[in-house]
């Protein structure tokens, strides 16, 4: 493993994350939040396997992850949908992974989440655009795995804004909701119309992935580097980091890509560890922590050439 750069809260490694997992202390990671290459028919520039070979490949990582997460820690896995080759029927690899991780590895499925990305393009073109016999696939599955039945979690950290109707109720309780006391003496309004600071979120996360003018992409364009083609939006890891961890907990992304997870963890005062096998992706991921375009190029070029960059004091070493 090669430590490529370090910030105030995190470390970014270049290499095979299987080796990184071997080096980490058991029961030391509070959250593994990651999105591996999916089981897709078309090969991607960042690499992907297919079928049973893919499932066994991912299981090798998950087996090591289980040893490394804390007893009350969590493992959140983002997986996109896919079709079977040549037919308009779904590949169920993501469900096979779920069953394998629970029944063979001993994980618990704490809860399933679904990420609705309204910005997703229609695919596959053959069935959706040309023949028009399937709807647009706009949802990824996110499996929230845990080692125990009671992982650390606090939904109060991820409350969502109240609906307009609920806001009206809270502002004028008597006008919108004034139930009579029941014969038993039980008042069903107690606690119902209390302002808790927000509503409990659902397990459908509606987060568009429409990044087009971020600092990361601007700096990639400036230095002539290609940004990672499969970035997820910061609000996705933000939800789980807030929900499942406390400040100074450790968040790990074993398929780090552009390091959205690390940047988000740092902004939320969590420690983070990143790893990616592709040196170019590691080099461009540091752009998230650059102060300006000139520094961005300097950081990128040093990592491309195998040099370590220390950003803990926001100065180059």
So which residues are the catalytic ones?
A: 35-36, 78
Residues with Cβ within 8 Å of 59's Cβ and at least 6 positions away in sequence, in order, are 97, 100, 101, 104, 105
Pairing of strands 2-6, 10-14: antiparallel
Pairing of strands 271-276, 10-14: parallel
**Length of the chain, in residues:** 317
Query: From CA 16, how far away is CA 277, in angstroms rounded?
Result: 5
Residue 210's beta-bridge partner residues? none
Query: From CA 25, how far away is CA 77, in angstroms rounded?
Result: 21
User: How remote is the C-alpha of 281 from its chain's centroid?
Assistant: 17
Query: From CA 136, how far away is CA 125, in angstroms rounded?
Result: 9
Query: From CA 271, how far away is CA 247, in angstroms rounded?
Result: 8
């Amino acid at each position: 493993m090669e430590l490529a750069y370090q910030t105030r809260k995190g470390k970014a490694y270049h290499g095979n994350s299987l080796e990184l997992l071997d080096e980490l202390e058991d029961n030391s990671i509070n959250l593994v939040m990651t999105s591996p290459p999916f089981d897709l028919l078309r090969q991607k520039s960042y690499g992907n396997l297919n079928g049973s070979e893919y499932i066994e490949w991912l299981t090798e990582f998950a087996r090591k992850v289980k040893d490394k997460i804390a007893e009350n820690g969590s493992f959140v896995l983002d997986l996109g949908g896919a079709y079977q080759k040549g037919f308009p029927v779904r590949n169920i690899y993501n469900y096979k992974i779920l069953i394998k991780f629970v029944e063979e590895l001993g994980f618990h499925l704490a809860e399933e989440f679904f990420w609705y990305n309204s910005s997703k393009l229609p695919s596959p073109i053959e069935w959706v655009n040309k023949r028009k016999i399937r709807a647009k696939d706009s949802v990824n599955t996110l499996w929230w795995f845990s080692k125990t039945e009671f992982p650390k979690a606090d939904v109060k950290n991820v409350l969502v804004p109240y609906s307009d109707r609920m806001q009206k109720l809270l502002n004028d309780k008597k006008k919108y909701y004034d139930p009579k006391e029941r014969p038993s003496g039980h008042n069903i309004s107690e606690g119902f119309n209390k302002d808790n600071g927000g509503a409990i979120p659902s397990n459908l996360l509606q987060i568009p992935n429409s990044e087009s003018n971020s600092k990361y992409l601007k700096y990639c364009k400036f230095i002539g580097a290609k940004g990672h083609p499969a970035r997820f939006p910061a609000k996705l890891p933000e939800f789980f980091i807030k929900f499942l961890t406390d400040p100074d907990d450790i968040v790990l992304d074993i398929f780090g890509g552009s390091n959205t997870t690390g940047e988000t963890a740092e902004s939320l005062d969590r420690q983070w560890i990143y790893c990616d096998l592709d040196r170019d992706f590691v080099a461009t991921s540091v752009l998230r922590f650059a102060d300006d375009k000139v520094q961005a190029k300097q950081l990128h070029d040093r990592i491309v050439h195998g040099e370590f960059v220390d950003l803990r004091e926001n100065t180059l070493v």
